[in-house]
Amino acid sequence: MPRRASVFLVPTRHPGDAAAVAALIDAGVVRASDIVAILGKTEGNGCVNDFTRAYAVEALCHMLAPRLGLTAEAVAARIAMVMSGGTEGGLSPHLLVFAVEEAEAATPGGALALGTAFTADFVPEALGRMAQIHATAVAVRAAMAQAGIENAADVHYVQVKCPLLTSARIAAARARGATVATEDTYHSMALSRGASALGVALALGEVPEAALSDAVVGADWSLFSARASCSAGVELLRNEVVVMGQAPGWGGDLRIAHAVMPDAIALPAVQQALRGAGLDPGGGQLAETARLVAVLAKAEPSPTGLIRGRRHIMADDSDINATRHARALVGGVIAAAVGRTDLFVSGGAEHQGPEGGGPIAVIARG
């Protein structure tokens, strides 16, 4: 039976605001049982202690629980909840609701295809290492199978939510005689994102198994996925994977395309993704904003301290974290191109696109 994917973008007034999603369900626009994933941008700091992510997940689970006849815990186990903290600059807090339902017919040439999968909970010593890479690759392949995507070339974006290390988790590993990849909790976010991204790369055939080891995570930037977007948070212990592709057997008028930004100001890459999704960027700002459903991108401060040969100070600012600078910069570039600020721009692009750059995906109506 053909399936149809739907995507709804709704604003939020604060991290615990689930009212707009509830309104969609209560008005019959989407069935709660059809929701497979919810992605959100919250106005936290995006760092280890960004509890706006957990707050948003909790609010959504408690809102969905009575509508699904489940406990909040069962909702969290069923629906991929990917909250990305940080709406610096002009980025607007919002939620993206992904749903899948049966369709009467498939769209010729295919349409947006969605699949989700979850790893088991990780022990602290697995984060940032081959165990996380392998588990993520298995989950990506499972999500592809669920979506009916047989060819990795049909995958355009893989969104992963992954865990991080806290002082308590590090202490628990130490008590068992285990060592962790790092005892710097902030650095653990980068290693977890990086290992998850390399797991995506392995699953999609972008990086061979022989090139991977614990040592390359967060070190060998020549290894990356052009389609991975990974966000780390304190609110979970497993990886949650959402595969987005363009595949036959799916109906509806949504399509997805991706490109790779080689650096933070790569406007042509933004325009390439827009064109791939069937939109005309023209010579200036996008005019077809009504057809634009969502933009998802990664932001990364160049570790060389340079952008096209000119110095930046993102990594030298002791007051504002570098990933926060990067989100604001990349968000501004994309917003100028598309004429909107409700963009899912996530910071920390370790092994997600080339050094100092990152992937971008556009979902649009045909």
Torsion angle, alpha carbons of 169, 175, 177, 179, to 10: 20
pLDDT at 366 over 90: no
| Per-residue pLDDT reduced to its tens digit, 158-195 | 999 999 999 999 999 999 999 999 999 999 999 999 99
User: Are 112 and 212 within 8 A, CB to CB?
Assistant: no
How far is residue 78 CA from its own chain's centroid?
Answer: 18
Task: Write down the pLDDT at residue 46.
Answer: 93
Question: 343: which 2 tokens?
Answer: 């963009």
84 is in an annotated binding site: yes
Task: Write down the pLDDT at residue 32.
Answer: 98
pLDDT-derived band of residue 343, with 50, 70 and 90 as boundaries? Answer: very high
* Cα(193)–Cα(352) distance, integer angstroms: 9
11 is in an annotated binding site: no
357 is in an annotated binding site: yes
Q: Any idea how long the chain is?
A: 366
pLDDT at 1 over 90: no
Region 272-283: what's the mean pLDDT?
A: 95
Task: Name residues whose C-beta falls within 8 Å of residue 39's C-beta, 6 or more positions apart in sequence.
Answer: 82, 83, 84, 95, 96, 98, 159, 242, 296, 344
Task: Name residues whose C-beta falls within 8 Å of residue 266's C-beta, 6 or more positions apart in sequence.
Answer: 333, 357
**Residues carrying an active site annotation:** 161, 231
- Angle CA(237)–CA(117)–CA(42) in degrees, nearest 5? 60
Sign (positive/negative) of CA torsion 128, 307, 344, 185? Answer: positive
Is residue 51 packed enough to be buried (19+ CB in 10 Å), middle (13-18) or exposed (0-12)?
middle
19 is in an annotated binding site: no
Task: Write down the pLDDT at residue 283.
Answer: 83
pLDDT-derived band of residue 282, with 50, 70 and 90 as boundaries? Answer: confident
Region 11-30: what's the mean pLDDT?
A: 98
Task: Supply the pTM of this predicted model.
Answer: 0.97
Pairing of strands 358-365, 292-299: antiparallel
* Cα(172)–Cα(276) distance, integer angstroms: 47
| Per-residue pLDDT reduced to its tens digit, 216-259 | 999 999 999 999 999 999 999 999 999 999 999 999 999 999 99
Region 46-67: what's the mean pLDDT?
A: 96
Mean pLDDT over the full length of the chain: 97
Task: Write down the pLDDT at residue 299.
Answer: 97
Task: Name residues whose C-beta falls within 8 Å of residue 97's C-beta, 6 or more positions apart in sequence.
Answer: 7, 8, 9, 10, 21, 24, 30, 35, 37, 38
Task: Write down the pLDDT at residue 156.
Answer: 98
208 is in an annotated binding site: no
* Cα(126)–Cα(180) distance, integer angstroms: 7
Task: Write down the pLDDT at residue 252.
Answer: 97
Region 332-342: what's the mean pLDDT?
A: 98
Residue where the block lists tokens 């689970």: 61
